[in-house]
Amino acid sequence: MVLAQLGGSIAAALARMGKATVVDDKVLAECLNEISRALLQADVRFETVRDVKANIKATANLDALPAGTDKRRVIQKAVVGELCRMLDPGKPAFTPTKGKPSVVMFVGLQGSGKTTTCTKYADYYRRKGFNPALVCADTFRAGAFDQLKQNSSKAKIPFYGSYTESDPAKIAVEGVDTFRKEKCDLIIVDTSGRHKQEAALFEEMRQVSEATKPNLVIFVMDGSIGQAAFDQAQAFKHSASVGAVIVTKMDGHARGGGALSAVAATKSPVIFIGTGEHIPDFEVFDVKPFVSRLLGMGDLSGLMDKIQDVMPVDQLPDLVSGAFTLRLLYQMFQNLQNMGPLGQLFSMIPGFSAQFIEKGKEKEGQAKIKRYMTIMDSMTEKELDNTNPKLMNESRIKRIARGSGRLVKEVVDMLEEHKRIAKMWNKLPLNNRKLNTNSRDSLK
Ligand code: GDP
């Protein structure tokens, strides 16, 4: 996902700032310029970027800080805080209550993924014990009825629609009434996403909304539409009282800025993101974890703080710009072993979490680290600092296994593990390191 590039660039700007010998207005300005560039490249609107920059500057307020304050940390916090604020309009969206009938209307342009998302949303709540139902109020697009019907039968969700009725408001009301009687507690109304004229589309939306009185109107937006997102979201906001946003196609080449713009335009929170064509490809959207992942593919914002404790500062440059060698891994293990709860720390390191901190398996994680360190103890200096993938041939691996009293397989596993973690680090475009822009691994 290209969004990773945005996070990586911001993290890189913070890391560079973190390395400056003195943090002054000039360093802050450079850092903010880098962050602004990254946001603009991710398709966030100029006006939003300008505000973000001004807000970070005002929050950090370097001149007013008492002597001895850790300015780096103040700036990092201001950046993370501002990114969260940008994505969080401050008022939570309506959430349906089990057993109490709610009507949720979906709006958005044709092709945005609206119909697919209606089913995903219904399925999500059904799994939570709701009794959802779908109503197709799109009479404009031939095939809309069949598509929603097909989706709903796949997901085993009751469906209402009509082949012959041409008044969307009438169908919507009939559908809502039918399902109210059937004691459905979440009635989802899918509306048309296209008309001959835009004005007619918005007028139809208004009529359906007036007829069904939805508790929530969700605007569905294609995450890959870039700069156009702001105007589109604003147009929908003006015509229907949008209360929440779902951004789709975040699995593809979405640069992510569209999501930020939609929040700014509708002043409504993003509640879910679509990450694929299938029903389970749907994720709850929470601002803080999202920003953390955005910045570090783990919790890099926390890691930045922690890392300065576990890593002597003079080693930071290596970590940030150099290759992720075995020696670096060893040093990290060593420093981490002297620190508090390992699980918490590892969860912040991109690429580590799954392997080392599986809940209840922290002891095994620690044993694994010890084993890996023993293996590395039998390596030569050259091997520890190696950046050539071909160096570790069979005879070296056998020698290391013998020397450490470990199995060849364990050495191979450790090398694979190192490669995997190094790959995660390399995805961060630190110092303009090239990103694998299509990969989703980094955000899992
Ligand atoms: P509508 O016209 O807005 O109702 O859009 P549809 O629900 O028909 O979706 C348009 C296309 O986008 C279909 O091919 C969907 O499978 C696809 N789609 C919807 N959501 C996602 C998503 O989150 N990721 C991807 N990759 N495709 C999606």
pLDDT along the chain (444 residues), means of 10: 64 82 89 91 84 91 83 84 83 92 94 94 92 91 82 89 87 96 96 81 92 96 80 86 90 66 83 88 78 55 44 42 73 60 46 49 74 91 87 94 92 88 61 28 28
Q: What is the dihedral of CA 257, 263, 269, 274, to 10 degrees?
A: -40
- Cα–Cα distance, 258 to 251 (Å, whole number): 14
Q: Which of 254, 115, 102, 118 is nearest to 179 (CA)?
A: 102
- Cα–Cα distance, 293 to 308 (Å, whole number): 19
Residue nearest to atom 27 of ligand 1 (CA): 277
Q: Is the CB of 256 under 6 A from ligand 1?
A: no
Distance (Å) from CA 116 to ligand 1 centroid: 6
Count of beta carbons in the 10 Å neighbourhood of residue 167 = 16
Element (H, E) at 283: strand 282-284
Q: Is the CB of 251 under 6 A from ligand 1?
A: yes
Q: Is the CB of 224 under 6 A from ligand 1?
A: no
Distance (Å) from CA 110 to ligand 1 centroid: 9
> Which pLDDT belongs to residue 292?
66
- Cα–Cα distance, 146 to 150 (Å, whole number): 6
Which residues lie below 8 Å from residue 33, measured CB to CB, with a gap of 6+? none
ipTM: 0.98
> Which pLDDT belongs to residue 256?
63
User: Exposed (0-12), middle (13-18) or buried (19+): which is 62, by Cβ within 10 Å?
Assistant: middle
If one residue of 106, 116, 121, 279 were mutated to test the ligand 1 pocket, choosing by the most ligand atoms within 8 A of its CB, it would be 116
> Which pLDDT belongs to residue 444?
26
Q: What is the DSSP letter of 22?
A: S
> Which atom number of ligand 1 is nearest to the Cα of residue 223?
23
- Cα–Cα distance, 18 to 22 (Å, whole number): 9
> Which pLDDT belongs to residue 94?
94
Distance (Å) from CA 114 to ligand 1 centroid: 7
Q: Is the CB of 111 under 6 A from ligand 1?
A: yes
Task: Report whether 274 contacts 298 (CB < 8 A).
Answer: no
Q: Cα 273 from chain centroid? A: 8
Q: Is the CB of 123 under 6 A from ligand 1?
A: no
- Two tokens, residue 198: 């835009």
> Which pLDDT belongs to residue 140?
77
Q: Is the CB of 223 under 6 A from ligand 1?
A: no
